[in-house]
Amino acid sequence: MASQRKKLLLVDGYNVLRSGSRYQRITGPDYTDDTFNTARETLINDVVNYAGRDWRAIVVFDGARNAFSTGDIQTVGGVRIMFSPAGQSADKVIEKLAHDARERQVETLVVTSDATIQDTVFGFGVDRMSADGFSRELGMHYEEARLDDTPKVAEKNTVASRIDPATLAKLKALRDHMR
C-alpha cells in the first residue's frame, strides 16, 4: 500500500503572532516578554495540533537581529521550530523552504500576512493563507475536535438484544408462565 504524500506547512511565526486575531487576544496591546512567550507557545501548540499526521510543519521566527541566532532547528511535538540565522530574515528562510519544497513537488502551504512573501511563494505555485485566516481555521479545527470528543452513551448490550426476536418472545412467554 502506497503511503500518502505528506504536505508541508510553513508558518511565519512573528507575522502570525502580530496579525492573527487568536494571538492578538493573548498579547493585547503590550508585547511584554511574558505575554509574547505565552503567545509563541500557544502558536507552536496550535501548529502541532493542526498539523497532526497530515502535515510536516515548520514554524520560522525571525532571528536576523540576534547575533547569537544560528538557525538551529528544534522539534516540538513533531513540528520543527527555527529562528532564522543572524543577518537573515525569516522571510528569506520561508521563501527558500517554499521554493525547495515546490522543486521536490511537495504540496506546500505558507501561513503569513506579509504581502511580499505571499506574492513570492505564489509565483512558485505555493498555496498561502493569511494569519487571520489561519486563526479562524484553528478555531474551526478546535470546534470540530470538541464536537468529536463529546461523550457517547454506549448502547446497552444484553443477551435479549442479541437473540432472534421469535426466540426472545418464546423465552418471555415461558418466564411469564412460570410466575
Q: How many percent of the chain have pLDDT more than 90? A: 49
Average pLDDT over residues 143-160: 68
The pLDDT tens digits of the residues spanning 71-103 come to 999 999 999 999 999 999 999 999 999 999 999
How far apart are alpha carbons 148 and 166 in whole angstroms? 38
Please classify residue 93 by burial: count the beta carbons closer than 10 Å to its beta carbon, then call 0-12 exposed, 13-18 middle and 19+ buried: buried
How far apart are alpha carbons 44 and 75 in whole angstroms? 10
Which amino acid is located at 106 in the chain?
V
Look up residue 79 and give its DSSP letter. E
C-alpha dist (Å) from residue 4 to 7, 106, 161: 9, 12, 41
Torsion sign over Cα 18, 110, 85, 44 = positive
User: Beta strands of 64-152 (E only): which ranges?
Assistant: 73-76, 79-83, 108-111, 127-129
The pLDDT tens digits of the residues spanning 120-141 come to 888 888 999 999 999 999 888 8
Which amino acid is located at 135 in the chain?
S
